Chain A
Amino acid sequence: MTTMTTTPASRVSTPPARPAARPRFRGLRHAAVLAKRTLIKIARTPEQLIDVTLQPIIFLLLFTYVFGGALGGGSQHDYLEFLLPGLLGQTIAMSSISIGQNMNGDIAKGVFDRFRSLPIARSAPLVGAVLAEFFRYLLLCVIMIGFGYVLGFRIATNPMALLAALGIAICFALSFAWVSVWVGMKVRTPGAVQGVMFLLVLPLSFGSNTFVKASTMPGWLQAFVNVNPISHLVSAVRGLMLGGPVAVPVAWTFAWIAGLLVVFFPLALRAYIRRT
C-alpha cells in the first residue's frame, strides 16, 4: 500500500450532506438496510441455511418412513399427508433457534458500537435481523412443500389456502424468533442459546399434534398439547392444506403471535439495551 493521500478535507466535505428532511418510514428503511447486512452475511456462510434446507428434508424422510408404516395404518402416503403440515410448523419453530445464537455472537463485535452511536432506533439492528429471517423461513417452506410433492404429498384444498398456511407459519416463526433473540441477549455464549432454546422448543414441538393426534395421548398430556402454540399452528396449517376446521386454530395462532410479540419484543429490546 502507498501512504494515504491527504487530500484537503474541504474537497471531501462538499455536498451531498445528509438530507434535511427525514424520509418517511425511516425505521422500516433502517431495519431493511440492517436485514440486508444479515442476508449478505448468510450468503457468505451458506452453512447457516442447513436448518432450513437439509434439516426439513431429513426430517420429512425419516418421520415418513420410520413412523409412517406404524402410524399411518400401513400407508406411508397417508401419514405423509398428515405429517407434512405438522412438520412444517415444527421445523419453522426450530429454525428460529439460530437467530438468537447468531445475534449472541454478533453483538459482541465492534460494529454494534457503531450502530449504537448512530441516530437510528435502538431496535433497528434487532428488527433488521428478524426481518432477514423471513427469507430463511420462506426457503424452508419452498423446500418442505417442494420435497413433499416429490414424495407424493398433495394439498386437498387450493393454492390460496396453501399460501395462507405458509403465511401463518412464517408469521408465527417471526414472532417466535423474538424469544430466541431475547435468550440470545440474556445468556453468555451462542452454545448456551442453543441449549436453552432446545429445552424450550423440544417439548413444544414433540408435545404437540405434529406426529400423532392428541386424542391418542393421556389426559394430562392432552391438556398440554391443547394449549401448546405449536399445536394451534399445526392445526391451522393442516386445516388450510387438507381441509377441515380452520377458524378456531387460526384465531388461536394469531393470538399467540400477538402475545409472543407483546411480551418478547420489549424483553429482547431491553436486554439488548442493557447489554454493553
Chain B
Amino acid sequence: MTDLVIEATGLTKSFGETRALAGVNLAARRGSVHAVLGPNGAGKTTAIRILATLLRPDGGTARVNGFDVRREPEKVRDSIGLTGQFASVDEDLTGMQNLVMIGQLLDLSKRAARERAAELLDWFDLTEAANRMAKNYSGGMRRRLDLAASLVGRPSVIFLDEPTTGLDPAKREDMWDVVRSLVSDGSTVLLTTQYLDEADALADEITVFNHGKVIAHDTPNGLKRVVGGQRLTIRPADPARYDDLLVLLAHVDTPGGRAPEADGRGTVTIQVDGDEVLPDIVARLRAAGLAVDEFSLHLPSLDEVFFTLTGTRSQDTEEVAA
C-alpha cells in the first residue's frame, strides 16, 4: 500500500441534477498503467479532471503523488501531465510555439524550452509541421501535439483521457507504444478508454466504471476470466446456412458451456478459452461443407463486457438500439 501514486476514495461529483460520480475508489501503483474503462457518461472524464485538479470533488478524498488534490493542488500540478479528450492546444499557435509556451510556463529558460520542444516534436514526428498553426493539423497530429505538450515538464503522473478515440488503427498502435515507453521510464499513467482491447494491451490494472460507480476492478487477465476471455465470430458465406452454423457451434465446448450468440447481423459469436479450439472448429466446418466469410478471434467489446458484468447492455447501445 506504500507506493500508491494515485489514491482516491469515495469521490462524488454532481453537475446540477446529474450525478457524475457516486463514490468512486481508484488506486494506481508507481510505474504502472491504470486503465479506467467505461462507456460515454460513465464518469471517466470527471474522475480525471478531479485528479488533475481541474474540478473539485463534492465528497471523498484523492491524493496524487502523496498530495491532496483539494488542499495542495499546486503541488499536484507540479508533477502531472494532462492530455484531454479534446486536444488542449492553442489552435492559433504553431506546434513549436505551443510547446515553447508550456516550457516557459514550467520555468524553463527560453533556450531550454526550445530544445525540449524540438526534442518532443521530433519524437512525435511533428518536426516538419513545427511551424504550422495547430488549427491546420490533422486530428492525429493534434493528438500527438497535445500529448507532447503534457510531457514538456517530464511529469511523473500522466493522465490520458481517451488518448486513441478517433485515431485510425495504425496511429492507435503508435500511441500505445508511446504509453509503454512512458511507463518504462518510470512514469505512472492513468488512462481512460472505451475499448477492452486497449486496456488489455496497456494496463496493469483495469477499473470499470458505469453510471459513476466502479463495477469491477481487476487485472486484465482477471477481468477476462470474468467476462469470458476471447470471442470467436463466424459469418457463413451463404446466409441460408446460418442455422446450420448455430447448430454446429452448439456442439463446441465453450467455457461455462454458454450457448453461441446469434447477433442478428449475420454472424455467430462463441466464447473460447484460447486458440486451441480453433482447429477443431475448422475441421467441423469443413466436414459440414460450410464456407465462411469471416472467422475472427477478438476480445469482448465494451458492450459484451458490460453485458457480462451488469446483465444489461451499456447505456450507449440502448440509445442506439432505441
Contact = CB atoms under 8 A, between A and B. Distances in A.
Interface of A: 1-10, 12-13, 16-19, 22-23, 26, 29-30, 33-34, 36-37, 40-41, 44-45, 109-120, 124, 276
Nearest to A273: B56
A4 B124 contact: yes
B268 interface: no
6 contacts: A6-B181, A37-B93, A114-B88, A118-B77, A119-B106, A124-B105
Contacts of A26: 107
B154 A13 contact: yes
Contact of B52 (A13, A37, A117): A117
A40 B55 contact: no
A5 B87 CA distance: 21
B203 to A, nearest CB: 18
Contact of B185 (A9, A22, A30, A111): A9
Nearest to A22: B107
A116 B141 CA distance: 23
Contacts of B81: 117
Contacts of B112: 16
B107 A18 contact: yes
Given A19-B107, A114-B89, 4 more contacts: A6-B181, A7-B122, A26-B107, A117-B54
B86 interface: yes
Contacts of B124: 4
Interface string B67-110: 00000001101101110101111111100010001101111110
Contact of B125 (A4, A13, A19, A115): A4
B238 interface: no
A16 B101 contact: no
Nearest to B15: A276
A30 B97 contact: no
Contact of A18 (B52, B82, B108, B120): B108
Contact of A33 (B53, B105, B174): B105
A29 B110 CA distance: 11
Contact of A16 (B86, B88, B108, B170): B108
B182 interface: yes
A251 B25 CA distance: 58
B183 to A, nearest CB: 9
A114 B83 CA distance: 8
Contact of B78 (A16, A23, A36, A119): A119
A111 B83 CA distance: 10
B20 to A, nearest CB: 12
B116 interface: yes
Given A19-B107, A110-B84, A117 B92 contact: no
B106 A40 contact: no
Contacts of A114: 82, 84, 88-89, 102, 149-150
A10 B185 contact: yes
A114 B174 CA distance: 23
Contacts of B108: 16, 18-19
B44 interface: no
Contacts of A10: 184-185
A9 B53 contact: no
A26 B105 CA distance: 9
A5 B182 CA distance: 14
B123 A12 contact: yes
Interface string B121-132: 011110000000
A84 to B, nearest CB: 35
Given A3-B174, A40-B97, A118-B106, A12 B119 contact: yes
A236 to B, nearest CB: 37
B90 A109 contact: yes
B3 interface: no
A229 to B, nearest CB: 34
A272 B150 CA distance: 22
Contact of B105 (A13, A19, A118): A118
B93 A40 contact: yes
Contacts of A36: 101
Contact of A7 (B54, B101, B123, B150): B123
Nearest to A33: B104
Interface centre among B90, B106, B140 (most CB of A within 10 A): B90
B74, B150, B181 interface centre (most CB from chain A within 10 Å) = B181
Contacts of A33: 101, 104-105
B178 interface: yes
B58 interface: no
Nearest to A32: B104
Contact of B123 (A5, A18, A41): A5
B294 interface: no
